[in-house]
Amino acid sequence: MCHVEVSNRNVVYRLDLHKRITLVRGNSGTGKTALYEMMNDYTDFPTDSGINVSGDKPCAALSYWYWEHQLRRLHDCVVFLGEPQYYMELEELAEAMLRTDNYYVLYTRENLPVFPEDDVEVCEMKANGREHWLTAVSSERK
């Protein structure tokens, strides 16, 4: 398991990741996009962003355009991806992800059969005020 916390003046995310691939789904308005945007800012400006990131592993957001370059450099990290449907080479991306030792957090409601089922946990983002956390939905990907 891997635990990470991400926070700024408005929100706190406390995430427990039990498998290498976490698919985050759930209702709109629960802060999924806000977390990805925070991780994007943090990846570009780790100190200057003012975003606090702590936990078992370093964290980074993957860029749509430079993911190949990024994945070559990221080891033993927690990597956040936006909607994976935007990545044109999805299967290539998935294969590259599975060759690494990183944990991955993806936001998608689609089924992604490219990932082995044993490596995947489906979660929902929950929120109460500024606190956010993940709860497992089931081991199924649908």
Partner 1 sequence: MLNIYYGDMPDVIRNTDVFFDNVYKDQWITKPLSRDMIRDVDKSEVFDARAIISPIFGIMSPEKLSGGVKTLILIDNDPAHVFNASNCGDNCAKWLLKIAEKKKVVINLRHFMNFGKGEFKIKVLNTGKVVKNAHDLIYEAGRYV
Q: Tell me: does residue 28 bind partner 1 (CB under 8 A).
A: yes
Please name the helix (run of DSSP H) or strand (run of DSSP E) that holds residue 63, with its range, or none. none
Shortest spacing between CB 82 and partner 1, in angstroms: 9
Q: Tell me: does residue 141 bind partner 1 (CB under 8 A).
A: no
Tokens of 9: 């003046």
State the Cα torsion 96-92-133-118 to the nearest 10°: -80
- CA 107 vs. chain centroid, Å, equals 7
Tell me which of 54, 85, 135, 139 binds partner 1, using CB under 8 A. Answer: 85
- CA dist 111 and 56 (Å) reads 28
Q: Tell me: does residue 46 bind partner 1 (CB under 8 A).
A: no
Q: Tell me: does residue 41 bind partner 1 (CB under 8 A).
A: no
| DSSP 8-state code for residue 39 | H
Shortest spacing between CB 12 and partner 1, in angstroms: 11
Q: Please report, as ranges, the residues that interact with partner 1 according to CB under 8 A.
A: 10-11, 25-34, 83, 85-86, 109-111, 127, 129-130, 142
